[in-house]
Every structure is written in C-alpha cells, then in structure tokens.
C-alpha cells in the first residue's frame, strides 16, 4: 500500500505557502531563466511521467515541514492532471514538503523543495483522465478512461501545488491532527493540520502535481503521445 512516511514538523507556519518555499538557493552568477530552461529542456525529452490524479479541497497548510507524500526524490517537473469526475472513498489531506534530488537542474531558487498538499484516497474512480507534462516545446500527453470503463486506483497518494474543481464530501472532519488520520490508511506528522472524509466527489478536477504513488492503478483505453498542447 502506498503511504507517506512520517517526518517531524519543525513547527514553522508560512504566511502564504502557495507563493514561496521554506528555503532558497542562490542562482549562479550570469545564469538567466532562458539558459536554465535550455539546460532543463535536454533532460526533459527522456521523461516518462506516471499517470496520476489527486482530489483536494482548499486546505490551509499550517506547517512548512510536513510528511513527504511520496517515497522518492521528485524530479521537480510539475504535471497537469484533469478529470471530468472523480469519486473516492476514504479521503485524507495534509500539508508537507517534497524534495528533489541533490543538484537537480529544476531546483532554481527553491532550494530543491516544493511546498505541497498530500492527498490520500483509499479507492478512487475517475472519468476521462488526462495528464500532461511540459517538456519544453512539446508535451507528453496521456489519456485514459474515456470509454465505458473508468480509471480506477487504490491506496492513492498524490502531492499537489494547485488544485480546483467542484467538490462534495460526506462526513468530513476538518482540523484533525495529521498523525491521527484513519480514513485512507495514511498518517501525516504530529501537529499538522489535516482533514478527512468518508467519501469525496469532485467534478471538473484540475491540478498541478509533483508526485503520486498507488497500490493499483488501472487505465483502460490508455493513450500516450506527444502533443503541442497539454490537458
């Protein structure tokens, strides 16, 4: 089962977690955004991102250091995920940090860390799933679940920096300590704000993700291709 390892919180509370990161690394003298994009672009052509999705409501992240939602160093390349509808049972959500590999060219001035919201769903069903990764001039596009069979996932955790949609929850608990979550089998660090619900339904799902894990991920009608446009 995919799960998020517990990481102790430093107790920091960012004023605006969506607009920054907890640490910064100085840029190399003479380096411009265009030059960095050029270096990263050569590496992106080999990327094969794992199809993923995430559901979340607006969560105020109250800590700058939380549990990692994944068990690996992230690439630092965000990917877009959309679905016309997601239905899930066993939903949890809490704030955290994801970390890139040492020396990642995608780190920029973030210090190799991304502030994210970790969401966990015990069982999820998605309609018309789309995922795209910007490789710099082209997009790796993945679609699935457009026919009669829908995409299904179990023990799904995903880390996201942006998300939107029309959500409805059943028996939601807001303000739970992340270390006491019970709905999806994933526990966050003690002292971290979280929420959980028996079920979740979200229409017009759209998010920017950095990582995902799943116990089982079934994608009927999977199509992978390069495209001028993303999801």
Nearest residue to 132 via CA among 208, 74, 70: 208
Asked if residue 87 has pLDDT above 60, the reply is: yes
Q: Is the pTM of the predicted complex or chain greater than 0.85?
A: no
d(CA 60, CA 193): 8
- What is the full DSSP assignment across 123-170? EEEEESEEEEEE-SSSEEEEEE--SSSPEEEEEEEEEEEEEEEEEEEE
Q: Hey, which residues does 131 pair with through a beta bridge?
A: 81, 142
Summarised one tens digit per residue, pLDDT across range 148-207 is 999 999 999 899 999 999 999 999 999 999 999 999 999 998 999 999 999 999 999 999
Helix (H, G, I), strand (E, B) or coil at 18: helix
The answer to whether 84 touches 186, Cβ cutoff 8 Å, is no
d(CA 127, CA 85): 5
Quote the pLDDT of residue 72.
82
């Amino acid at each position: 089962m995919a799960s998020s390892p517990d990481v102790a919180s430093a107790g920091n509370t960012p004023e605006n977690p969506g607009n920054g990161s907890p640490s910064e690394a100085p840029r190399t003298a003479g380096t411009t955004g265009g030059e960095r994009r050029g270096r990263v672009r050569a590496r992106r052509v080999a990327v094969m991102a794992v199809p993923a999705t995430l559901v979340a409501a607006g969560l105020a992240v109250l800590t700058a250091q939380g549990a990692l939602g994944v068990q690996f160093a992230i690439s630092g390349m965000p990917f877009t995920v959309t679905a016309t509808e997601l239905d899930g049972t066993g939903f949890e959500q809490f704030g955290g940090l994801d970390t890139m590999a040492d020396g990642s060219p995608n780190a920029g001035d973030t210090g190799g860390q991304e502030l994210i919201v970790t969401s966990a769903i015990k069982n999820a069903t998605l309609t018309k799933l789309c995922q795209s990764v910007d490789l710099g001039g082209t997009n790796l596009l993945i679609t699935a679940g457009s026919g009669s069979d829908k995409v299904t996932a179990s023990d799904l955790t995903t880390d996201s920096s942006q998300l939107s949609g029309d959500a409805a929850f059943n028996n939601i608990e807001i303000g739970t300590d992340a270390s006491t979550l019970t709905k999806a089998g994933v526990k966050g660090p003690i002292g971290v704000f979280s929420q959980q619900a028996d079920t979740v339904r979200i229409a017009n799902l759209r998010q920017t993700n950095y990582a995902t894990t799943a116990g089982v991920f079934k994608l009927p009608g999977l199509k992978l291709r390069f495209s001028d446009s993303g999801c």
